[in-house]
Structure 1
Amino acid sequence: MNINSPEFLNNPYPFYAERRASAPVFRRNDFEWTITGFQELSTFLAKPSAGRGNIGQTPHRGGDTSAIDALKKNNPSLALIERWMTFQNPPKHTKTRGNIASVFTNKLVSLLEQSIRKTLRELLYSNTEQGTEFDFVSTVAYPFPLTVISDMLGIPKEDRTQFAKLTRSLTIATQSNFHQLPKSVLQELNNSAVALEMYFKELLPKKIANQSDDLMTRLINKNSKDLDTQELLANCVFLLFAGQDTTTCLLTNAMSAFFAHPEEWQKLIKQPDLIPNAVEECLRFDPSVQLVGRFALEDIEIENNVIKQGHHVFAFLGAAGRDP
């Protein structure tokens, strides 16, 4: 299963089915594993010893961190991303996530609900005419989450146009092997990381001077006791990036699925109370995030397979979601 091949990227699900049938827990080489079965993946991810690790990290090298240290020194994009809560292990991950969750409340989302609905209506109708075709990705799926997340963070409207290219560069960083990226790509990633972190750093004093009820201001106020400033800035970038990329993919994949199954679309029109379950089903059927990477912090046994400490595991969420 070559996860970088055009065939796989175009449609990974036949590859998943074949791997699940032959070996739901599979050893790729001396230090890497794949997990494609639902029960096996659920068991693995529930273990505290399934560590997140850092991009570019190779912990199986007997604790030698020289390679990753050199990467961080020369690549600010890696230094930024490793401060994201999604790449942290407990107890640091638990603390950072708890601090963000404590201010990212249902009340904040409720306050923005009418604005979110208004944004979606404008995107659907302002640039289209009834009965005409339009590009759903560029017209709705991409700008919608960017607008909503920017509103949540309290980013001024005039500043948002610069984020498209910058966040796209970070997508490459989180889905690639740093050791194998061309210098030109690395330079673009570093430029994007520096620009995004600098933007939020410059926005910081403005938020402190002009208090408002947005997510960034709440995080700044939380920062005085519980959050490091560098972590605050890094996770503002993370929230902007992660919500943008995953939601764009979810909307696009969902629309594609409904085009392929128009009877399900009609069912939702007639029974809108089914929509919440339909969202969950779209996340299962064709998820935005196809896999997550983990490192074994200690030996882990899954279905008579022993994943040794330091080994890297590719946990395929997309495969597990279609395990019959």
Structure 2
Amino acid sequence: MVCPLCRCPGAPCVPFAGDHGVPEAFDVVLDENCFRRMYIPCNVRASLAAYIQEHRNVAQMSGYKRIEPALLTFESRSYAAVFKHRGRYSKFCGAAWNELTQDYALSAGDRVVFTLDHSVFDLKVETYRGGHRIFPTPDCAFEKLTDAKYQLVCSAVMPRGLQFNYHDNQEFVTSLFRTSFFLGCMPYVHVLTPTNTEKFLMKIPKAVVSSLKVFIDVPMSANVCLEAFKGELHVITPSSYSLGKKDGRMVIARMTFNQFLAAASYAKDNVFLITFKECRDRSVSTVFQQLK
């Protein structure tokens, strides 16, 4: 079943009533031809068209080289899809839209969530399958890496004796893309030990630190943020680190690591994927994502 007006999958679209108006966030369900185009529900398409036109006007008045808002994904990937607003339908299409569907391996039933954020020029979108976010395919996410950097990303430091089943491996791969500015250094899988949870001593192996140096400058000591994602909870703890002069390992400040463990409710034997991301202000965060 599709809406007879806008051709979107599902029942006919219901207009938004009352004083609420069109929401700032809405989702679009894709159909089997999503690789060619994405129709916009008729109850929000006029508002979306007005939003896009408003941004076009701002771009023209400001003298921007690009006046068409692009689709900006959660991972900060930009796609200059063509937006067509006609009498009976509105849709995104074109080569860039097809590229987005390929990069995220989108299929019928997947959802594209729009957020009409006036603080940014482009259209913010997120992709979901069921209740889970869809991340870009690995070959797409790492396409700009040199062969040497690609080898770093495709290897990982793992605890001895730790075994992953298919589900764990799938979670491991998707966890790499949960942050918008993921640095493609060597991933590190770590099991919390009593040394971490009782003595609050946390060291990042030399191999990981060396791979990080390929992407950014890593001074002997600096401030760093410790981040954790637990469902809807996002923990951020300011901290610092120092590099061991002999072993080259990155040692996290004990007091702040203790605070971080308490805030995130992490405990002994928890398994983490530890990666790094570069923030907009060029600072670096160490991201802990629980796998088990």
TM-score interval w.r.t. the shorter chain? under 0.3
- Which has a greater percent of strand? 2
> Normalised by the size of structure 2, how large is the TM-score?
0.26
- Which has a greater percent of helix? 1
Q: Which has the higher contact order (CA 8 A, sep 6+)?
A: 1
